[in-house]
Amino acid sequence: MDLFKAVAFGALGFAACLALLLVAGRLYVRWHRAVISAVALMGLLLQGALWGGITCTLKRFEVGGSYFWLYAALVTSVIGTVWALFLLGSTMLSRRFTD
């Protein structure tokens, strides 16, 4: 697998997880929102672990060049994970117990 395919699949994965969070934020049924938020959270955690591992490996081998896009992927993963945790927590702690 060449570099462009890996970056494209990574960007597609981030976009899919963030799109799931957008959809989950608009849902009214509690358990639907919780399940979709949990799936997006797992995807973002796996993406963060993958790109974090790649960043650490490249830094360990002292590979030169810019790490800008790797750091951008890590920041996106952290922001998305915080958003997913907030959405999941607000879903679980909401007052509407009838949904």
Task: For 9-30, write each residue's pLDDT tens digit.
Answer: 889 999 999 999 999 999 988 8
CA distance 73 to 81: 12
pTM for this prediction: 0.84
CA distance 23 to 27: 7
Each residue of 62-93: pLDDT tens digit? 888 888 989 999 999 999 999 999 999 988 88
Q: Please list the alpha-helical segments (H only) found in the chain.
A: 3-26, 30-60, 68-92
CA distance 80 to 34: 15
CA distance 57 to 40: 26
CA distance 46 to 42: 6
Find, among 44, 30, 32, the residue nearest to 85 by Cα: 44
